[in-house]
Chain A
Amino acid sequence: MNLNRSFFVPVNSPLHNLNPLTKLALVFSMILPAFLSLPQLAPFLAIPILIAVFIGRVQKQYFNLLLKLVLPTILFMFVMQSLFLPGGETVILNLGIFDVTRESMQSAFYTVSRIFVMISSFAILLLTTHPSELMSDLTRRGLPGQFAYVIISTLQILPQMQAKAQTIIAAQRSRGLDTESSFRKRIGSLVPLVGPLVFGSLVEVEERAIAIEARGFTSKRIKTSLHEIPDPAFDKILRGILVILVIASFVLNLWLS
């Protein structure tokens, strides 16, 4: 079983060495223009994204993710939008009661590009940034510790809960629980699994609360961090440039529309 569910790929690249906040700024400098600026801009943002994938040396993992997760999602959206978006005059394809028009296809293409930009830029962030590094940097900059804890522990605890569900299922099957016959029977057999999983998890939450409290989680002292996360001048300048670029994209939008 894969116990480490973070997407992080531990290689050395210029992108890995950027400060986490800079990478978050890069993500938003892609997403904000894609969604709020000219729709024609979104498809072109795929270019910097692909460049980033190669700079970050995560092409294998990225394209894997693209194939399994992103592509099916956006293909489905593209088909649905092309079929069902109302309006448009230039009919390209007629499927009984549905018309695929040039306009609806174009609009679907823009929407899909936006989704692609959003998922891809977050994926690159997660592939090149260790989650605990991202969170300690954000906590240092004022993100509440509790908030960071929830994010990080979810990454770790979900696989644990999955493993526990598997254990409970195995235990119940060994006592004759039916998990292989008709759909209706299988739904029924879920009932005895929910109790142990939910109540067990509640007890665990209480114990875990005690454990982290015993280690000063709610201490009012100023927290320190084990890892030093460098934030050189280059990162600060880059973040400044990104802010300017985002504003420029909005100005362009206002000016052209």
Chain B
Amino acid sequence: MEDKKVLIVGGGIDGVSVALEEAAAGAQVTIVEKFPTLGAERIPRDRLIKPEDAFINPDLNKVRNDNNVSILTYSDLKKVNRDNGKVQAKILKHSLRVDNSKCNDCKACIKVCPVNMFDDFDESFSFRTAVDYFNPATGEYNIFKEDMPVCQQACPVNLDIRTYVGQIADGKYLASLATIRDRLPLPGSIGRVCPHPCETACNRQYLDEPISICFLKRYVADVELNGGIEPVYETPAKKLPEKIAIIGAGPAGLTCAYHLAREGYENITIYETLPVPGGYLWVGIPEYRLPKKLLQREVDLIANMGIDIQYNKRIGKDISFEDLKNNNDAIFIGAGCHRGLKLRAPGEDEYEGKGIVDCVTFLRDQALGNPIETKGKLIVIGGGNAAIDSARVGWRMGFDEVYILYRRTKKEMPANPWEIDAAEHEGVIIQYLAAPVEILGKDGRVSGMKCIKMELGEPDASGRRRPVPIEGSEYVIDAETIVPALSQATNLEFLGENHGLDINRWNTFDIDEETGATNVQGVFAGGDVVTGPDIAIRAVAAGKKAAEGIHEYLRSR
């Protein structure tokens, strides 16, 4: 046991005493503490308590003087790798924001510090300043700074929201747009469709209502668009030669390509099955929420960075995945979830294509302009945004009546509340607490659906109350078209056989959270193909992360 090394995360009283125990047993101990001091020593509230009089845990001096213990304060544990019975940890040590070698403890900084914050030492009983002495043992000063504002933390791509909203307040619209584009290449599109987790987190809501972060993004993108300004996305002069293939021109793939092009890669090819870019942004989100013209412009801006987008190229059919892997230095898979889940009701298979269309196909057909028969009634089953989109699209296409069937109530509906309200306002009939039982048909076509009323029972694993059918409450709705919009799943047939990639039981990829790397070297994945159906901004975040992962991988080869 002579080279036993122990890492202790947390330098509180327990951490310190365990460290001493382990050191006494002969191990090399490292303590990692998030705060600038070890836990048992405190900032004296004022200098009435002289350091020598203050209560200090006697273990602290022991642990500091122990040669087998090294102490890392003001450090964060970033990543832990397990390998062959050993653990490797990546630790970020922050530097102090005050040059303590020049500090003579005059306290002038405390007097002028403009930031009064609640003191975490006495549970916010009093104020202290952001700059403060914190360590009675060393007398060092530091400036406390929070990591990120809550909105930025809530945003999957960590957009610098405070800056870009502030720049809009200053009237610097183009500077604001540049700030957004540093992390998000599709501001106009995302600004229209994002369900904005940032606004859900916004602190302003406790005063009146959250800042409209999402629409502000849309606004600056529109200022540029309406002003006729054509930006150019810059790429560095120093080019990198590696070949990179990206599968899918959705938000994940486009973002990945954008960030790689900004690193200087010039041989980036995106393979897209559909004749149009954008993935679900094009074929899932209806025109009234996201105009295709605007999306096309944002895609063109990315493509103009020297990225080759090849449409109508299905991997596994036009090019095999194996060839792609052999001919490229790195591959990013951002294929999305383009397979609608089945209803599993009797009659569904029988009438598949004869009145039953899953929502993915339904929305794709209308987006691509494929003919859809629009007479009679339409029933959409489900309560997500895809269901509302299908219903509102159906209503616009000219169905006589449009129904949405959802088995819980409006409160549990996962769709954005404003979308539900808009659908109801337009005339879509939403039947809550109703579920399909059987698809009815006549002469080889759907003629209606037998439904059953539900009531809410005990909460289930997701925390929502489980719907329970009410015996004998069946009723029939006549309909010519039924669109199940339950959820979507991945379709990984394009990989072919013997691809060697780890695929989990949800039929998605297992990836490294930090880099987006799969278990096969040089193959990266991100977006819905990893997370299952999710929001666009998370796919953008995955694309960015994978671009960083690919860059790191290619440069360290």
Whether A and B are associated in the same complex: the answer reads: no
